[in-house]
Amino acid sequence: HIIDIDNCQEAFFLPSKDSGNTIVHRDYEVYRHYLYTVAYEGNNVLQVWDFSYLPDSVHKVYESNPAELMLSVNLFIDTGKASLYACSVKSLLYGFDQLQVYSLANPEKPKLITRYNRNSEIHDVFVRNDTAYCSAANYGYEVVDFSKMDGSFQNISELRFYPYQGYNHSSWLNEKGYGVMTDETHGYPIKVIDVRHLENIKVVSTLLPSYWP
Q: What is the pLDDT of residues 14-29, one digit of tens each?
A: 989 999 889 999 999 9
Identify which of 203, 200, 184, 201 has the alpha carbon closest to the alpha carbon of residue 192. Answer: 203
pTM: 0.94
Query: pLDDT grade, residue 148 (50/70/90)?
Result: confident
Q: How many beta carbons lie within 10 A of that of residue 21, not counting itself?
A: 5
Distance, CA of 24 to chain centre: 16
Q: Is 166 helix (H, G, I), strand (E, B) or coil?
A: coil
Torsion of Cα atoms, 207 then 98 then 90 then 100, to 10°:
110
